[in-house]
Amino acid sequence: MTRNLLRILSVCFLFPIVIACQKQISSLDEEEEIEQPEEVIQQLPKQFVLKHFTDAYIEVWSMQYDTVNRRINVYYDDTTNANPYDALKASYQFNASGYLIKFIDSDGTDEETSIIARDANNRIRYITNHDEYFRNPDTSFYTYENIGDSVRVSIDRHGYFDQDVEKSSYVYTYKNNSLQNLRLNSSNFLYTFQYQQNKLTNMEWVRNGDFIRMAMTYQTPAPDESRDLFQELILGKDHYLQDIRDMYFFFLFKDSRFLTLSASDPHHLASFSFAYKSEDDEGTFGTVCTYEFNDKGQPVSIFMESDEYTAQYLIRY
């Protein structure tokens, strides 16, 4: 995405871009002429097309940017009729400070609603997920601890089925104008994350000779704008939290509660690979991504290929 998205975030949606720990990371140049909302809206994606060649299906998603009600909706488009907004796929509702407070996820039939309750400082107190197929909600309660330039986010999850509590903690640190996930401790599994110049390059879990390793390479190692501004627009100010990133619809890879690789990352993920070993099994697999851009430098095609699947995103502006 282009640097103009920084203006879009501030002008159109009134979301000044700050990290949730309240550190200011960017501001608009006062001498710079600000584009009008109707002009910058034209620079945002209007539609996404997902072509899954392996499973032989195509989905078209239409974007609806509602600046008045601070809401972004994503709709399934049945291309056999003229209406681009046929069925809701996802909905993102924000408060006046630019934080996500409600998320709806739908496959066209089943719908799950997440309510994000926040304290006076807009930190998440809890997230409650409601699904019509389950009697009890799934609720995650958050606590925070500052450790130097890092913050530990501890989460107690009460699951849908038996309300058993699953505990996990994430440690984020403030580097290169973004909060980065350094460690994830969940069910006695400790994952570590490594970054280079604001890019996630490795994720690893090792125990008693068993391991899971993931490596990422990038096509654009040093873009003019290194932050994923479209993801920030969709998810709000605490977009870096993994539970919030799980709500992102435009991804190349997602493993809920562990990792989301964004398709709008301006570094343009070129490949990601896994290697794993356990007592009973071991192996490797990976995915290669190739891009096409328009004359404004915006991606219009992302082609993904692995040993298991082939798929493509088309982005329409």
What pLDDT, on a 0 to 100 scale, did the predictor assign at position 195? 92
CATH class of 4-316: mainly beta
- Best CA proximity match to 174, nearest among 202, 203, 191, 195: 195
Rounded CA separation 51/254 (Å): 17
Q: 178 Cβ partners below 8 Å, 6+ apart?
A: 19, 25, 198, 227, 240
* HSE of 181, CA atoms in CB hemisphere, 13 A: 29
146 forms bridges with which residues in the sheet? 151
Encoding tokens for residue 274?
A: 């896994």
Residue 130 CB neighbours (<10 A) = 16
Q: Per-residue confidence of the chain (317 residues) as pLDDT tens digits?
A: 444 444 444 444 433 333 333 332 232 233 344 344 555 566 899 999 999 999 999 999 999 999 999 999 999 999 999 999 999 999 999 999 999 999 999 987 789 999 999 999 999 999 999 987 777 788 999 999 998 888 999 999 887 666 578 889 999 987 755 678 888 887 668 899 999 888 999 999 988 889 999 999 999 989 998 889 999 999 999 999 999 999 999 999 999 888 999 999 999 999 999 999 998 999 999 999 999 999 999 999 999 999 899 999 999 99
Rg (alpha carbons) of the chain, rounded to whole number: 20
pLDDT at 160: 64
- Cβ-defined contacts of 120-126 (< 8 Å, 24+): 121/22, 122/20, 122/95, 122/97, 122/237, 122/238, 123/20, 123/238, 124/238, 124/241, 124/243
What pLDDT is recorded for position 163?
58
Q: What are phi and psi of 177, to 5 degrees?
A: 60, 25
Pairing of strands 47-52, 210-218: unpaired
Give the per-residue pLDDT at 137: 85
Domain ranges of the chain: 4-316
Q: Specify the 3-state DSSP secondary structure of 298.
A: coil
Cα angle 168, 170, 176 (rounded to 5 degrees) comes to 170
